[in-house]
Chains A and B, each alone.
Chain A
């Protein structure tokens, strides 16, 4: 079972910048896209942003002004930055990769990073 590895700071103060990164699983795939999703404690899932293999991005408008998703030029990892965090950004953050091979779709997830925003 493939699990992406993700890392980044888990405790932030209000107004700081959240930075997370996630490895990319390379295989015999024809296309890829990568996303970040978060889940506040005890609550449901919220999609944050997505980037495809060509570098095109889509953002959740509710977070757009504070979020940047990027992928490195060698396509070995992708990252999330969220500026000016508040307590409302406290959540488990997951990275996710979707990869296509023929007619099959593969989905891989990171282990999650609990980010707590507290003064």
Chain B
């Protein structure tokens, strides 16, 4: 199985700051089939990015994804209060699809 390792585990930032979250895969992800999801407490996840860099419908442009192969990054250009949440990366290039362990973005 492809193991996804996210870093850091927790990111403490203030509203308005820039957030950079990392996702590293144990092997190259075919076709850059890498997604980013956001999850708030008590809620279902929400897809933000697919194909490493394409925003899902309705996602604000302050969210952007980059990377290829084994190294991927989610960037939130300016944190809004509603962006404080847990973020997961997910690969769907090779079955079984797998998730990273998550990065919590908390208010500093």
Contact = CB atoms under 8 A, between A and B. Distances in A.
Interface of A: 3, 37, 44-47, 50, 58-62, 94, 96, 98, 101, 104-107, 109-112
A107 B46 contact: yes
A44 B97 CA distance: 13
Interface string B19-41: 00000000000000000010100
B88 A105 contact: no
A3 B90 CA distance: 21
Contact of A45 (B56, B57, B90, B96): B90
23 contacts: A37-B45, A44-B88, A44-B100, A44-B101, A44-B102, A45-B45, A45-B88, A45-B99, A47-B99, A59-B96, A60-B95, A60-B96, A60-B97, A94-B45, A105-B50, A105-B54, A105-B57, A106-B56, A106-B57, A107-B47, A107-B56, A107-B57, A112-B44
Contacts of B102: 44
B97 A50 contact: yes
